């Protein structure tokens, strides 16, 4: 049972436009959500996180929005740059299992010049 | 600053062979993890450790064993490799549990093929 789902395997966006990556979850006990970015042949790197007590967190060009009632979060990248082309993973954890991050399947973002 | 280093980067095993993947971190992190990444599945936690001498099972532990004899090293063992263990393996470490919003640092991965 996939508790964290990224339903779009891939997304293509023009350089300079906004990229929106989506993530849905089923476990209402999740209280922290993180986004990781992965380039080919490298390990994932942390991008941004959000606590369930917030509905928005911003870091430069990256903003994560959390809608708890819909069990949905999204990552906005604006403006999109060619270096943003990568696979993005959404991850979540619950208080009782804080050592365990549950990852989504990933979305491959391609930024076209 | 090396961060998290995995050895080896690539390996091909025959079914039934054994091997050990080594993860080393130089950030004095308490928490260490082994994940596997498969197409369409994201990253799944195999085993983790919350400190030297401790290990615990993750989401997909069957067929794997781990040891954390030294704080900086976390070893993942496959006693009898199976084709289903063909995957990319990632080690990660963090100062606190990653679920508390703390950044986890990942190694570059080990691509394992079992034939």
Statement: residue A71 has pLDDT above 90 = yes
- What integer pLDDT is reported at residue A42 of this predicted model? 93
B71: pLDDT strictly greater than 70: yes
Bridge partners (DSSP) of residue A50 are A33
pLDDT of A98 reads 61
pLDDT for residue A100: 78
Of A70, A49, A67, which is closest to residue A58 (Cα–Cα)? A49
pLDDT of residue A6: 96
- Report whether pLDDT(B66) > 90: yes
Residue of B nearest to A41 (CA): B108
Could you tell me if B91 and B59 are in contact, meaning their C-beta atoms sit under 8 angstroms apart?
no
Q: What is the mean pLDDT of residues A24-49?
A: 94
pLDDT for B51 equals 93
* Chain B partners within 8 Å of A105 (Cβ): 40-42
pLDDT at A2: 78
Reading the block at residue A9, the tokens are: 């395997």
Query: pLDDT band for position A97 (50/70/90)?
Result: low
In percent, the amount of chain B with pLDDT more than 70 equals 97
Nearest partner of B27 among B104, B84, B90, judged by Cα: B104
A22 forms beta bridges with: A74
| C-beta of residue A48 within 8 angstroms of C-beta of residue A59 | yes
Q: How far apart are CA A39 and CA A87, in angstroms?
A: 7
CB A21 within 8 A of CB A29: no
Shortest CB distance from B109 goes to which of A43, A46, A91? A43
Of residues B90, B42, B43, B36, the one with CA closest to residue A7: B42
Coil, strand, or helix at residue A50? strand
pLDDT exceeds cutoff 90 at A96: no
pLDDT at B78 over 70: yes
pLDDT score at B1: 58
> Residues of A with CB below 8 A from B31's CB?
99
Size of interface A-B (CB pairs under 8 A): 75
Over range B57-84, report the average pLDDT.
96
Q: What mean pLDDT is reported for chain B?
A: 93
Report, as an integer, the average pLDDT of B24-43. Answer: 93
């Amino acid at each position: 049972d996939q508790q964290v789902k990224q339903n779009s395997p891939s997304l293509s966006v023009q350089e300079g436009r906004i990229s929106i990556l989506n993530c849905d979850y089923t476990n209402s006990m999740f209280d922290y959500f993180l986004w990781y970015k992965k380039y080919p042949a490298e390990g994932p790197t942390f991008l941004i996180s959000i606590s369930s007590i917030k509905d928005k967190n911003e870091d430069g060009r990256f903003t994560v929005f959390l809608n708890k009632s819909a069990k949905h979060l999204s990552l906005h990248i604006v403006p999109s740059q060619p270096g943003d082309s990568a696979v993005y993973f959404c991850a979540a954890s619950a208080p009782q299992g804080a050592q365990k991050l549950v990852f989504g399947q990933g979305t491959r973002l391609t930024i076209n010049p | 600053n090396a961060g998290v280093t995995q050895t080896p980067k690539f390996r091909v095993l025959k079914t039934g062979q054994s091997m050990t993947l080594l993860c080393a971190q130089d950030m004095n992190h308490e928490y260490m993890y082994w994940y596997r990444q498969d197409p369409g599945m994201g990253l799944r936690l195999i085993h983790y450790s919350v400190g030297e001498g401790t290990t615990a099972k993750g989401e997909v532990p069957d067929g794997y064993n781990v040891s954390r004899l030294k704080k900086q090293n976390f070893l993942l063992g496959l006693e009898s490799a199976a084709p289903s263990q063909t995957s990319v393996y990632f080690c990660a470490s963090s100062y606190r549990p990653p679920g508390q919003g703390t950044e986890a640092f990942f190694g570059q991965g080990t691509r394992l093929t079992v034939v």
